[in-house]
Amino acid sequence: MISKKLYFLLLSFAIILISIQLGSGIWLFISKYGLTPSEVYKYFAGDEESFIMAKSFEGLIETAVPHFLAISTTIFVYAHFLLFTKIISEKKKQLLIFGLFISAILDISSSFFIINGYEIFAFIKIVSFWSFEMLMGLLLYILFWVALNSYKTQKRKQV
Partner 1 sequence: MLFMYFIGDLFYLSHFFGSDPSSILTTLKGNEEEFIEPLSAISILEHIHISMFLSIMALFTTMAIVLRLNISKRHKGIIIFISMFSLLISSISFLTTYYLSDIFVYLFFTGTIFWHLSGIYALILIFTQLWTKKA
| Residues at the site binding partner 1, with contacts judged by CB under 8 A | 2-3, 5-7, 9-10, 13-14, 16-18, 20-21, 24-25, 27-28, 31-32, 66, 70, 73-74, 77
Closer Cβ to partner 1, 15 or 88, answer by number: 15
Distance of closest approach, residue 89 Cβ to partner 1, in angstroms: 27
Cβ count near 39 (within 10 Å): 16
Distance of closest approach, residue 103 Cβ to partner 1, in angstroms: 18
Indicate the SS3 state at residue 47: strand
Closer Cβ to partner 1, 65 or 95, answer by number: 65
Distance of closest approach, residue 59 Cβ to partner 1, in angstroms: 14
Distance of closest approach, residue 44 Cβ to partner 1, in angstroms: 16
Closer Cβ to partner 1, 28 or 120, answer by number: 28
DSSP state of 82: G
Closer Cβ to partner 1, 28 or 148, answer by number: 28
| Long-range pairs for 38-41: beta carbons < 8 A, 24 or more residues apart | 38/122, 40/114, 40/122, 40/125, 40/126, 41/114, 41/119, 41/122
Are the beta carbons of 93 and 82 closer than 8 angstroms? yes
Specify the amino acid at residue 67: H
Cβ count near 7 (within 10 Å): 14
